[in-house]
Amino acid sequence: MSDLPPLGKVSGVVTLDGKPLANARVQFQPPDSRASEGMTDENGAYTLRFDLTNYGAKVGPHVVSVTTRTDGYAKPPQNGQEGEWVKGQPESVPAKYLKPGALTAEVKAGSNTINFELKN
């Protein structure tokens, strides 16, 4: 018996002012289960994963977050060389979309195409 909730496959495109938003993390958070996440590619396209082996998001309502901000991190040292610092990325999503509840979506059983057209 599986502990997996009913999932709907979710993919879509995220744009900012009509242009694809690349390298953005898209997260769908239902009120009572784990979140599903995906990253946008250079065309702004994303596909959600529920966990390592299952694609999709729990069927039902979700609060959605989209962010491009990443923290910097140190790569581990290799071959006796000092670790390299990788710079984080700044946020390019307008602040109005970063507020909890600013973006929402309803996931249905089956395949869902959910696009987000963000504007400055």
pLDDT per position as a tens digit, 34-62: 999 999 999 999 999 999 999 999 999 99
pTM: 0.87
91/13 Cα distance (integer angstroms): 18
pLDDT per position as a tens digit, 4-44: 999 999 999 999 999 999 999 999 999 998 999 999 999 99
DSSP 58-105: ESEEEEEEEE-----EEPPPBTTBPPPEE------S-GGGTSTTSEEE
